[in-house]
A and B are shown apart, each in its own frame.
Chain A
C-alpha cells in the first residue's frame, strides 16, 4: 500500500479519489480480516460516506486536510458516534457511543477516512492481543505469532496494508511494542499532547493516544493532526500541535544520544544487536553516543503494576450493568452488578481490578500505591538527570521479536516483562517511539526505542528518520 502522504497528495491532485482509496482499503480488509482478526467492526457505510464528503469538498474547490482520503484504522477503545465500541470486552458488547473522541473529530477534519475499529487486549490490558474477548489478532508477518499489544489490531492493520496509518493507545507500551513486533513506526507522545477525551480509560495518568505508520513521515503527519490543546481534557497541554514534518530531516548531528543499559539488558541477542547497529548509525550521522545507566528504571515495572491497576480499578467501576453494555439480571442491584462484572470481564481484567483495589485499600495504600507514587517521582527525577547528559536516549522496544501464541499466557509476569523497556516513559509522561531497525529470529522485525524529554517529539522524529534511512527503508 502506498504511504498516507502519497495517497493524500494524489487525492488532492485528483489522480485518485477518497472513495477509490477507501474501496482499496475495504478490499484489503475483506481479503484478510477473517484470517487475521484485525477489525472488530468494519464501518463500510461510514467510511464511504466520509470519503464522499472529502471528494465533494474537492470537487467544490473547498480546502481539504493533510490526510485527505487516507484510510485510518482506530483502536476499539476510541469512542466513535454510532459505531460499536467495545474496548475488546464483552461488557461493552453492542454499545454505541453517542459521541466522538476528540482524535476522531480531528482525523475527520483532516480528511482521513475512519475504516473501523481494531482488535485489542481487553481494556488495553495485555501485550499480545490475546486477552481480547473477541479472539486474538494474528501477526500478518507470521500468523502463528502475536502482533503484540494491546494495540495489536491497529498494528496489524498497517502491517497487512489494510490501512496506511492507524491510531493506538499506549499506557505501558501498547503502541511501541506492537509496532516493534509488526515492523512499524509507533509513537507514544508526551502525556497531554493528544487529547484523551473519548478514549476509554485504562490508567488515566498513563494513557496516551498515538500513531502507527509504515514510515516516519506518515507517523509525523498523523501525530500533527491529532495533537494540540483540547478544552475537553483537563490534562491536555496548552500548546498547539508541534511542527514535525518540517523537521524530519533535521538529522542528529551534534546531538548527544544516551544508550541506556537498563533499556536493553536481558533482551534477546538479536534485539541487542539491532540496538547496537542503530547506535552506530546514529554515530555515523554525527551524533555523540554516551553510555548511561539509570538504575531507577528497574523499578518501573513494579510501580506500573500498582499504579495502572489502581487507576483501572476505579476507571472500570462504571461497567456495572446499570446504564449501558452487558447486564446480567439478578435479585437485587448489588447482585446484578456482581453477576454482570463476573460475566463481562475476562481473567486479566479481573486480575488487575483486584490488584488495584488491593493496592488502594485502607491499610495497604501506603505500602503499595503510595510507595509506587514515590517510585514514579524517582523515575521522573532520574530521567531529568539523564536528559542533562543526553538529548535523547536509546534502547530496545521489546525484549524479543514477535512470540508465538500462548507462549506467555500462562505466566502473567512473563507477559508483563514484554513492556519492561516501554513502561518507564509512561510513568515519566515523556515521549518515546519505536522504529524498525534490522531483523532478528526468523527474519522478524526488531524495534529500537528512542526516548526524549517532554515535548521533544520533533527531535525524536528526526532521529527516527536517520534510522529509517540507515536501515534502507526509504
Chain B
C-alpha cells in the first residue's frame, strides 16, 4: 500500500522469539508447547518466595547465534528487572536486559537488496499465558482470568530493528527473512501460530526528508499478514488524522484482527514506569572469545546465502522457479533439491515437488530419504509416473514411508512401457483419422483429445507427456 499525498511510513519492529532450548531460561522445567496447563512449573518459574534464577547456558548459545547471524557485536552484558504487575508474571517483574544487551548493533539484508539496521537483540524471560473469560476477552472487565505458567520463564530474544523500514511490505519481508534466520540458527522453530515469534510494530508517518513523526506502537502481531495489515491501517489512520487537523499521540495500540483496526491500549501518560535495576540474583554474562568462536563456527549458512547457492544451479530461472526457491529455502529443503539437481533431475520438477508436496507433508519429512525423493522424481522425469502419480507417491511416502517403486506398484501406477504406449497410440490414429489429420496440420488442442483417449484405455495409468512424445514422433 502507498500512502496518499507523498506521506512516507517509518517503521521499526520489535520481534520476540522463543528460544528452542530443552529447558527454561532460569530453571530445569521443560520448554515445550502444548502441555496441559501448569504442568511444566517449579518454584523458580512460579517465582515462589525464596526461589532464585540460574541462567541456562544454551539460551545464551542461541542468543549469540542470532547475534552473529545479524552481524551484531557480542559484549559483556547484564540482566535487569523490569517491574510491573501482571497476573501471568509470577514475580511481578520480568528478568530482561537493559542498558547492556548481549547483542548490540548489526543489520539484516532483505532479498530486495535493502538493509535494515539492528539496534539490539537481548535475552529475556517469557511470561505465563492469560486467558480472560467474559467481557471483551481482555483483562479489564473479564469475569474470570485463567493463567497457565508453562510459558513462564521460557527464554526469549527480543530483536529490535532501527526505524529503517519504509513500507508494510518491507516490514513483512524483514519479519519473514528474520524468521528464516531464526530457524537457520536453530534458535527458534519459527512457529508463529504457536506464539514462537511475536511482533510489535512502531509506526509513524512523515513527508520524505522531514523529521520523524510521533510513533504509535502496535502490540502483539502474531502473523506476517497481521503485521502488514496492522501497519497499513495504522499508517493510514495517522495520515488521515493529520489531514483532518489532528495530531498523533504517542501511545500503545492494540490490533483487532477481526475488525482490521488498531485501537488505543494506553497513552504515553499511562505508560508504566518499569523501574529497571540490576537483577541482584544473577551475575554478569560475559561470553569469552572461545565461547563466541564455538558458536560462530557451529553456524550453518543463512537463508540469503542458501538462496544464492540454489539460484546458481538454475539456468535462466522462471518466476515460478524463483517463487518455489523462496519456499524451498524457507522450509529448509534446499539441500534436498540440490541433491536432486546433482542427480540430473530437472530443477523445475525438483523445486515444484519440494515447494508443494514436501511442504504439505513437512511434519513427516523425516520419513523421506534423499534417495527416495530423487527416485520418485526420476520415475516422473522418465515417464514412468505421471505428475499426478508422482505427487501421490511422494505424499504416500511422507505419510507411511517406503520406496517409490514399491509404493507406485502398490497403487497400481505401473506405466505402459513405451512399446505398448506406442501400440495404443497407433491404434487410436487409425480409429480417429480426422482428428489425427487436424493434429498433424497443427491443431495442438487435439493432443489433449488423444491423451484423453489413451487415459480412457489405460485407466489413467499413462503419462501425458509420454503420449505427446509418441504423437509427435508420428506427426
Contact = CB atoms under 8 A, between A and B. Distances in A.
Contact of A232 (B47, B48, B52, B93): B52
B85 A97 contact: no
A332 B48 CA distance: 23
B100 to A, nearest CB: 15
Contact of A197 (B50, B91, B140, B273): B50
A204 interface: yes
B85 A79 contact: no
A8 interface: no
Interface residues of B, number: 33
B85 A317 contact: yes
B52 A323 contact: no
A192 to B, nearest CB: 10
Interface stretch (B9-17, B277-285, B288-296, B428-436): B277-285
Contact of B283 (A87, A101, A232, A235): A235
B275 interface: yes
Interface string A150-193: 00000000000000000000000000000000000000000000
Contact of A200 (B50, B53, B275): B50
A6 interface: no
Nearest to A310: B277
A196 B48 contact: no
A205 interface: yes
A97 B50 contact: yes
Interface string A224-243: 00000001111100000000
Interface string B45-73: 01111111111000000000000000000
B50 A101 contact: yes
B85 A232 contact: no
Contact of A333 (B48, B50, B93, B145): B145
A334 interface: yes
Contacts of A313: 83, 275
Given A232-B54, A317-B85, A324 B273 contact: no
Contacts of A205: 280
A199 B280 contact: no
A313 B276 CA distance: 12
B83 A361 contact: no
Nearest to B145: A333
A322 B50 contact: no
Contacts of A99: 43, 48, 51
Contacts of B47: 318, 323
B50 A199 contact: yes
A320 interface: yes
Contact of B275 (A95, A199, A360): A360
A320 B87 contact: yes
Given A99-B43, A322-B147, A357 B275 contact: yes
B48 A97 contact: yes
A314 B52 contact: no
Contacts of B147: 322
B91 A234 contact: no
Considering residues B55, B92, B140, which has the most beta carbons from chain A within 10 angstroms of its beta carbon? B92
Interface string A63-93: 0000000000000011100000101000010
A85 B49 contact: yes
B81 interface: yes
- Interface footprint category on A: 35 or more
Contact of A361 (B43, B87, B273): B273
Interface string A352-392: 00000100111001000100000000000000000000000
Interface in B34-48: 43, 46-48
Contacts of B140: 332
B90 interface: yes
Contacts of B46: 323
Considering residues B47, B54, B141, B281, which has the most beta carbons from chain A within 10 angstroms of its beta carbon? B281
Interface in B111-142: 139-142
A98 B277 CA distance: 29
Contact of B87 (A95, A233, A322): A322
A145 B316 CA distance: 94
Nearest to A205: B280
A318 B277 contact: no
Given A87-B49, A101-B50, A200-B49, A361 B275 contact: yes
Contact of B277 (A79, A196, A324, A369): A369
A114 B39 CA distance: 31
A232 B51 CA distance: 9
Nearest to B84: A317
Nearest to B42: A99
Given A197-B52, A314-B93, A320-B92, A337 B281 contact: no
Contacts of B54: 231-234
A232 B282 CA distance: 11
Given A320-B85, A333-B87, A311 B52 contact: no
A105 to B, nearest CB: 13
B283 A79 contact: no
B93 A233 contact: no
Contacts of A369: 277
Contacts of B48: 79, 97-99, 324
A334 B85 contact: yes
A132 to B, nearest CB: 16
Given A314-B275, A322-B147, A234 B90 contact: no
B49 A234 contact: no
B87 A318 contact: no
A198 interface: yes
B160 to A, nearest CB: 20
A310 B90 CA distance: 19
Considering residues B47, B52, B81, which has the most beta carbons from chain A within 10 angstroms of its beta carbon? B52
B473 to A, nearest CB: 77
Given A205-B280, A233-B52, A235-B281, A314 B273 contact: no
B50 A78 contact: yes
A450 interface: no
Contacts of B275: 313-314, 357, 360-362, 365
Interface string B73-113: 00000000101010100111100000000000000000000
B89 to A, nearest CB: 9
A201 interface: yes
A412 to B, nearest CB: 23
B50 A198 contact: yes
Given A317-B85, A317-B91, A234 B53 contact: yes
A77 B49 CA distance: 9
Contacts of B91: 317-318
Contact of A311 (B51, B276, B280): B280
B190 to A, nearest CB: 31
Nearest to B281: A204
Nearest to B282: A234
B83 A314 contact: yes
Contact of B83 (A199, A234, A317): A317
Considering residues A95, A199, A318, A369, which has the most beta carbons from chain B within 10 angstroms of its beta carbon? A318
A314 B81 contact: yes
B50 to A, nearest CB: 4
Nearest to B27: A232
Nearest to A198: B50
19 contacts: A87-B49, A97-B48, A97-B50, A101-B50, A198-B50, A201-B281, A231-B54, A234-B55, A234-B282, A235-B280, A310-B277, A317-B85, A323-B46, A323-B47, A333-B139, A333-B145, A360-B275, A360-B277, A362-B273
Given A97-B43, A365-B277, 18 more contacts: A98-B43, A99-B43, A101-B50, A196-B50, A197-B51, A201-B281, A204-B280, A231-B54, A234-B52, A234-B281, A314-B93, A320-B85, A323-B90, A324-B48, A332-B139, A332-B141, A360-B275, A362-B275
Interface of A: 77-79, 85, 87, 92, 95, 97-99, 101, 196-201, 203-205, 231-235, 310-311, 313-314, 317-318, 320, 322-324, 332-334, 337, 357, 360-362, 365, 369
Q: Rank and list the top 8 A-B pairs by shortest CB-CB distance, nearest first.
A: A317-B92, A360-B275, A205-B280, A204-B280, A198-B50, A200-B49, A79-B50, A322-B87
